[in-house]
Amino acid sequence: MKHIVNVNRYGAKGGCGLTDTIGIQLALLQAKKGPVTVYIPKGVYHIIYELVIYEHTTLILHDEAVLIRKSPTAMLKNGHRLKKYYGYDGHGNINIIGGTFDAYGHTNNTNNTIMSIGHARNIQIHNVTFKNVVGGHAIDACGLDGFYVNECKFLGFRDDSGTRLFSEAVQIDIQTEGAFPKFGATDGTITKNALIENCYFGNSGDPNMLPWNRAVGSHASMYDVFYENINIQHNTFEGLGDFAVTLLKAKDSSVTHNQFINCEGGIRYLAVPTGKYSLDIHKLNRGGQAGSTILIGDNTFKDIKSKPSILIKSYEDVMNKDIYIYNNHFEGEYSNNIKFIKTTDIYLYNNRNLSNIKQDQVENIIHI
């Protein structure tokens, strides 16, 4: 049976960075004694250092509980910098429910991530609002087996340096050198078996903030290690500044039943060319690789801007294959634009208002 603790008991009352941070951390430390539920009541709490959450913890925030980032660090992580974690054997079986994590980017302009979660199994995040990130991610999910995000809001992003266009609200990540600097071994542990559903990605409306550039995706890889069973469904992406979703060298994954509204681009599915992301675990360059078996269906693309609604792209002599694109609806002057580059075995079915299909070195495209 889980032990239930209220952070007020440990001195976290709201409005004071020192007592709020220490109080919440003392409550989270109760997981060292066994499974625990930590409750954060209504209030505004100031976080001045990275909180650490441990295995078998359920963290519940009142709907009107707000954690505000008051330092250059991340807000929450599931490990310690000086401790090595391998594979999926770090702190897992963690549930985070409710409340708001506000990186306070409209006044705190330091680059960091809200939640850094790595080397673990069974991480679930429900009904959480993530706000106002500068440069980093809302969630960096690096080396997770079983990652579920449901009914969350991702509001507000800014890239002051001009070098963080690639920052996703939810980064689906792999433990490679430089990818996840918080803790753990760079042993090629990759995130798999992920489901992100019923979420909203857009702007917070706070001063100086914009919508995210990218909502969900990956931009790091390792030879012969694939993102698998990544599923993105029933989400709304609004006003994003780049491709909303990027799948990288993925297998057996899907993007279905989503709405892409007024974004620069929609969905991008990429292979990996020869380069720094084609190294194996021993840092030998083994060449580019592609993925296979992707479902893109029942999505609505409305008023997409400068980039394709769907882009499938491979490199060199390897090709993404087995791409199923079906029952999508394209609205607006430029939304009916999809593009295939070095791709094979593409199946198209019942896509409404799709008239502009661009192809470059494509093999075996089938209209069902």
Q: What are the pLDDT digits (tens) for 276-313?
A: 898 999 999 999 999 999 999 999 999 999 999 999 99
Answer yes or no: do 216 and 227 share one domain: no
CATH, residue 80: 2.160.20.10
5 compared with 207, residue with greater pLDDT: 5
Answer yes or no: do 266 and 290 share one domain: yes
Distance CA 275, CA 287 (A): 7
Answer yes or no: do 255 and 349 share one domain: yes
pLDDT of residue 110: 84
Answer yes or no: do 118 and 231 share one domain: no
Q: What is the pTM of this model?
A: 0.96
Neighbours of 168 (CB within 10 A): 29
pLDDT tens column, 335-355: 999 999 999 999 999 999 998
Helix (H, G, I), strand (E, B) or coil at 28: helix
Quote the tokens at residue 151: 């009914």
Instruction: Determine, yes or no, domain membership for 3.
Output: no
Instruction: Determine, yes or no, domain membership for 259.
Output: yes
Answer yes or no: do 171 and 241 share one domain: no
pLDDT of residue 1: 58
Mean per-residue pLDDT, 128-157: 97
Q: Which residue is listed with tokens 């029933």?
A: 234
pLDDT of residue 235: 98
Cα 170 to Cα 1, 177, 317: the distances in Å are 32, 19, 30
Is the pLDDT confidence value at 141 over 70? Answer: yes
pLDDT tens column, 154-197: 999 998 877 777 889 999 999 998 778 788 889 999 999 999 99
Quote the tokens at residue 279: 């190294």
